[in-house]
Structure 1
Amino acid sequence: MKINRPLILISNDDGYYSKGLKCLIDMVSQFAELLVVAPESARSGFSSAFSSTTPLRLKLRRKWDGVEIWSCNGTPVDCVKLALSELCDRKPDMIIGGINHGDNASVNSHYSGTMGVTIEGCLKRIPSVAFSICNHDDNADFEPMRNIVQIITEKVLADKLPDGVCLNVNYPVVDKIKGVRVCRMAHGNWGNEVVRMHHPRGYDYYWLVGEYTNEEPDSEDTDNWALTHGYAAITPTTIDVTSYEMIDKMKDWKF
């Protein structure tokens, strides 16, 4: 009887051609069969958006060491949905988003297409992990992440994750990390997010930019603190957004 190797579905928000995705394939190919479905171009900031009014297309871009790499004209979440529906011959044992060019710590996780991949997998009850590095360079060096990526991948394939929980893993840009911290997301916010410009043809247009502020820079149990001080940060993330404390407080409300 043929025994299948585990199957890992990989996607990202930087595009099927990104260096981070290629490095991830190399890092985890020893653990499982891989299927890659990623956006045809960059989709950063798409979070869990999906396409409801645009027809979607899949295109096989290449086979690399036996791994099929497909592109989709939609969002990262579209990639996962189409892969599960049209390309997977069985339910994946794991879904990985990344490796993202740029960190997805703190509130960035809410905007991230990489986390969108991971949340979608979690919603489908598939163990899911997002990997990101704090470097936006197209040619960033991902090799220092190899050990942590392989340890987490092997561990999750073996032990799974609880239903409703996924992992958000961020890696600092340092010569050698001091260690790994399992931590919470920092409280922070983006300000000065809009730059208004005036077009020569007489109308205003806008760029969304922004400056991030960590509201608790001295809190050592946060992802921002870990990354700032040379640690890799792992944030267990839940898809249940219910405030149970507020439920208790609202029991006395009169309606």
Structure 2
Amino acid sequence: MEKKPLILITNDDGITAKGIRTLIEVMCTIGDVIVVAPDSPQSAMGHAITINNTLYCDPFVYDKEAAHKEYSCSGTPADCVKLANQQILDRSPDLCVSGINHGSNSSINVIYSGTMSAAVEAGIEGIPAIGFSLLDYSADADFEACRSFVKSITEQVLKSGLPKGVVLNVNIPKLPLSEIKGTKVCRQAKAMWVEDFDKRTSPQGRDYYWLTGEFINQDKGEDTDEWALAQGYVSIVPTQFDLTAHHAIQELNSLDF
């Protein structure tokens, strides 16, 4: 009998979020599943890890009939991957999948994303990894159209592997399955958040702030994730965690530091 792949699942919306429950259902059709996910929402945590507080990771039961094991972690998405790989699992997983995130992680959002940071942490530890996101921020988002793409992309990665030092950032448009045109392997669009802080005063007279902003896509290319999503495609961006600007090394070497 062929051995099933061991798949680690995590997210940043919390272990009870609808997106991760959908991801668990899909992954259980592919391999043996272990879930280690935050006990509360950790969106926009980036690659934060817990170093000055205690970490808790307790068994969690969502479905008494489920065959897989789940753990609820008090830490960040990156913490979840570290704990799973170093303390909970008896071997390194064959794949780590993170998500399905409630909301976009395309373009510059990948920098802030807890979903993608979990995938990147897995990649750093030598585990093939994919972050999945749906362009719908609603807690009750409909993930049905995601299922077939999540399954096919996962199966292809398990079959063929990924280039060394690369994880996948997969974003799925908020469309019915019949209207999604397919997948596009893309580059990350050059875009940014133009931010502002809404200053308010509490009833106690203390100033406080709400972060607001507008997403601006500065990239007109037709090979980007933002273009693909706008055209009704699932975007797949190969993402690396080596942040070296290799193209700048020669120029900087000419300077007198």
User: What TM bracket, shorter-length normalisation?
Assistant: over 0.9
Cα distance in 1 for residues equivalent to 2:196 and 2:34: 37
**Partner in structure 2 of residue 14 of structure 1:** 13
Query: What amino acid is aligned across from residue 26 of structure 1 in structure 2?
Result: E
Structural mapping, 1:215-254, within 5 Å: 215-216=218-219, 218-254=220-256
Query: 1:180: Cα distance to partner?
Result: 1.1
Q: Distance in 1 between matches of 2:2 and 2:88?
A: 20
AA of the residue aligned to 1:248: Q
Shift of 1:3: 6.2
Question: Is 1:195 aligned with 2:198?
Answer: yes
Moved more, 45-54 or 222-231: 222-231
Q: Counterpart of 1:197 in 2: which secondary structure?
A: strand
Give how far 1:192 is off: 2.9
Q: Measure the CA separation in 1 of the matches of 2:248 and 2:61.
A: 50
Unaligned runs of 5+ in 2: none
* 1:164 is aligned to 2:165: yes
Matched, 1:213 2:221: no
C-alpha change, 1:88 and 1:3, in structure 2 (3 Å) is: farther
User: Which blocks of at least 5 consecutive residues in structure 1 are unaligned?
Assistant: none
**Which residue in the other structure is 1:128 paired with?**
129
Distance in 2 (CA, whole Å) between partners of 1:128 and 1:55 is 27
Aligned to 2:35: 36
Matched with 2:148 is: 147
**SS in structure 1 opposite 2:122?**
helix
SS state of the match for residue 137, structure 2?
coil
> Percent of aligned pairs with the same residue?
43
Q: How far has the Cα of 1:251 moved from its partner? A: 2.1
1:59: which partner in 2?
58
- For the pair 1:178 / 2:181, whether they are aligned, the reply is yes
Following superposition, the deviation at residue 196 of structure 1 comes to: 0.9
Deviation at 1:14, TM superposition (A): 0.3
Distance 1:63 1:88, change over 3 A: farther
- What TM-score, normalized by structure 2, do the two folds share? 0.95
The Cα of 1:235 is off from its aligned counterpart by: 0.3
| Residue 207 (structure 1) shift | 1.2
**Paired position in structure 1 for 2:104:** 103
Q: CA–CA distance in 2 between the matches of 1:239 and 1:183?
A: 17
CA RMSD of aligned residues (A): 1.3
Please report how far the alpha carbon of residue 209 of structure 1 lies from its aligned counterpart in structure 2 after TM superposition: 2.4
Q: Structure 2 counterpart of 1:220, which letter?
A: E
2: CA distance, partners of 1:36 / 1:136: 22
